[in-house]
Amino acid sequence: IQPDGQMRSDKTVGGGDDSFNTFFSETGAGKHVPRAVYVDLEPTVCDEVRSGTYRQLYHPEQIISGKEDAANNYARGHYTIGKEIVDLVLDRIRKLADNCTGLQGFLVFHATGGGTGSGLGSLLLERLSVDYGRKSKLSFAVSPSPQVSTAVVEPYNSVLSTHALLEHTDCTFCL
């Protein structure tokens, strides 16, 4: 799949390996769009995706950003700023899930050291458990490391998010 969502001409759609359909959906125009929602409370990274090489690959509604970050604070990501955006995120997830013929579950990629990944990530996992209780939820959690830490509170954020990971995921891969 090319950066514009088109399938390379030397690949045959329908004949052979079409396992990419698990992670991509095909539009009426033949464009392949990731079955993914990208979320960040701070707009910089999402803006890079919106204007970068792969900008044509993603549907604009599937890239959600807030106006301010969680300031490396679990509570801001979970209880205040994250709480304001989580319903929009769940609505976009619901739209993608409704278009699936056999939804098996969710893959959640996040870091646990910052406020967004730990706080909003925990809130999102809790809400996914309520809305999609029996569906699998796998988390790929990037844990903080003292060698590359940018904030002294990263271990605290990680510990605070651990409860949601234990309660609301079927499996968490700690990276």
Q: pLDDT tens-digit profile of 112-154?
A: 999 999 999 999 999 999 999 999 999 999 999 989 988 999 9
At the fourth CATH level, which superfamily is domain 25-174?
Tubulin/FtsZ, GTPase domain (3.40.50.1440)
pLDDT tens per residue, range 8-55? 776 655 555 677 788 998 888 888 999 999 999 999 999 999 999 999
Structure tokens at 64: 């959600």
Instruction: Give the start-to-end residue ranges of the domains of the chain.
Output: 25-174
CA nearest neighbour of 41 among 134, 151, 126, 124: 124
Using alpha carbons, list the distances in angstroms from residue 49 to 7, 23, 46, 143, 150.
Answer: 20, 18, 5, 23, 23
What distance in Å separates the CA atoms of residue 128 and residue 103, rounded to the nearest whole number?
13
Supply the pLDDT for residue 122: 98
pLDDT at 10: 61
Cα separation, 75 vs 157, in Å, equals 9
Residues 59 and 9: their CA atoms lie apart, in Å, by 22
Q: With DSSP H G I counted as helix, E B as strand and the rest as coil, what are the percentages for the chain, rounded to 5?
A: 40, 15, 40
Tell me if 126 sits within 8 A of 96, measured CB to CB. Answer: no
